[in-house]
Amino acid sequence: MQLLLYQLYSGQMFFSAALAIGATALLALAGALERSQIWRSIASVVALSAIGAAALCGVPMPLAQAFVVIPLTLAFALFGITAPKRRRVTLASLALLSTLASVALEIRWQRRTPFPMPRPARLIVLGDSLSSGGFGETTAWPELLARDSGATLVNLSLPGETAVSAAWNLLPDLPSAATGDVVIVALGGNDMLEGRPARDVEAALERILEASRAEGRRSIVMLELPVVPGKWRIGAIQRRLAKKHGVTLVPRRVIAKALLTPGCTFDGIHLTQRGHDLLAREIAHSLTW
């Protein structure tokens, strides 16, 4: 169950689903399913289940891409596997190509920072209880990350903070920009859990990122959220704003791993010391510090 939840919340289920769709398409192209109706039925179920799993994990796919890949893969799963050879080859080829293209586009958001981000002279963290600590741990992850990177820490995180409230509560406390500043924005989780409108979250994150950049004098990092089903717009907002403002986005699997590794939380949300240790290591690894 833990592995299934990690696949879901980390977004890795998308790649597992893509593998299943791709394998089914290759079998159809090779004619390996022609002789058995049972295997054709199984292949259809596998392909349809994979499409559903890919949708459930909530990868923030651009609408233009979704309008292409979803119809093509559905057409293959529903009509292509049992179709005559010419139609089967056409639909399987289109499904395979669109799936491979989607995987290639998603991998860009999953990889480590391609070039090492300069280690900060000062690390500023804007976050909620995941970053503030105060729940029984000895040392929260921002302090661990700052210590290991040799930076001075300014942790402005507060328990219960949302992106919407932080835009008003935390920004006034931002220190003046200085050379070597790195700001980590770890907000939005409480907005998602409380059901705040996506447009309000987007406006708040936009304001936070603009203020944090200080006209380009600071480097900005944002932790991507492991979005829950039905809250997928939050993920799309984070990616859109990261691209717009030149923000380094730490993949959602990093927080998902800390929250879902046994012994890393005491209530499923708040980190134990083991969880803080793991999150600090994973963030540093993602940023190649």
Please report the pLDDT score of residue 231 as a whole number. Answer: 82
Query: Is residue 115 scored above 70 in pLDDT?
Result: no
Query: Is residue 229 scored above 80 in pLDDT?
Result: no
Helical axes 85-110 vs 63-75, angle rounded to 10°: 140
Q: Do both 91 and 177 map to the same domain?
A: no
Cross-strand bridge partners of residue 3: none
Rounded percentage of the chain residues whose pLDDT exceeds 90: 78
Residues 6+ apart with CB under 8 A from 107: none
Domain that holds residue 139: 122-286
How far, in Å, CA of 266 to CA of 146, rounded? 24
On whether residue 149 sits in a domain, the answer given is yes
Tens-digit pLDDT profile for residues 159-183: 999 999 999 999 999 999 998 999 9
pTM for the model stands at 0.90
Report the number of distinct structural domains present in the chain.
2
pLDDT average, residue stretch 152-162: 96
pLDDT grade for 283, boundaries at 50, 70 and 90: very high
- Write the DSSP string, 253-273: HHHHHHHHSTTSBSSSSSB-H
Query: Is residue 12 scored above 70 in pLDDT?
Result: yes
Q: Do both 127 and 39 map to the same domain?
A: no
Cross-strand bridge partners of residue 219: 182
Tens-digit pLDDT profile for residues 85-106: 999 999 999 999 999 999 999 9
Q: How far is CA 29 from CA 16, 34, 91, 95, in A?
A: 20, 10, 9, 11
> Mean pLDDT across the chain, nearest whole number?
93
Q: Do both 81 and 148 map to the same domain?
A: no
